[in-house]
Amino acid sequence: MNRAKLIERIREVNSYLCVGLDTDIEKIPAHLKEEEDPVFAFNKAIIDATLPYCVSYKVNTAFYEAQGLKGWASLEKTVNYIPSSHFKIADAKRGDIGNTSTQYAIAFLRNMPFDSITVAPYMGEDSVKPFLQFNDKWAIVLGLTSNPGALDFELKSIEGDEPKRLYEEVIRKVSTWGTTENLMFVVGATRSDEFLHLRKIAPDHFFLVPGVGAQGGSLEEISRKAMTKDVGILVNVSRDIIYASTGIDFAQQAGEKAKGYALEMANYLV
């Protein structure tokens, strides 16, 4: 999916919601565990219920890889079930030397119908560029994350002509490797105090923003500080939507949660 189509879709739906399919087999409703593929059964129901209210789905591959071959089968069925109208993110956080990254890129961006993949940039340019070689596909590079460990490296000050933090240098540098048509950045919702500054560094790139809902990020604050004339943000919500209920009504409750986020987002769209 190219940038123009993504923006068009956001405007059509009046939502920039991304639903995170971080599907933990231990947390899905008990009655689904009798299904041949419980994870896919859960995901299918969640997708059916939330499809009208979101523009994107983020599949966290760790939850599928942990289940071995069965998990990979669930992942492939899930991404194939999501319609092409919705932006599909492989949350795989890959990033390795160039020839290895090339194989990761082929796996997720050619052999599976993902539109994008999350990428860790700390091995440098040759670990990121292979993900930027596919038409209408995106690398979503870790910029400033919301986890406590961000203090270990990302928020550390580094030496140079002027004071700056490591994450700032990462975003500035990575921005030169791609364009606003194939490169996004992950910025955690709990770092909302940094969004105005971030927009000076990357004024036009899309941000994928996890951390709203269960992690406590403010949708209103993010929207006010990070939104651009082209919207420029995808806000991911995972647990607060997909685990809204553990009963028979789990899909209905997920749909209601997604609808609530979408209605709030419609108020912030410019």
**CA dihedral over 196, 197, 201, 202, signed as positive or negative:** negative
Strands 157-158 and 116-119: unpaired
Scan for tokens 């231990």, then name that residue. 26
**3-class DSSP string for 228-254:** ECCECEEEEECHHHHCCCCCCCHHHHH
DSSP 8-state assignment for residue 172: H
Strands 56-60 and 17-21: parallel
Question: Coil, strand, or helix at residue 61?
Answer: coil
> What's the CA angle centered on 60, arms 8 and 37, to 5 degrees?
105
| Spatial contact of 230 and 208, defined as CB atoms under 8 Å apart | no
> Which candidate in 77, 93, 164, 225 is catalytic?
93
Q: Which residue in 153, 172, 165 sits closest to 194, CA to CA?
A: 165
Letter for the amino acid at 28? I
Q: Is 259 a catalytic residue?
A: no
Which residues are the active-site residues? 93
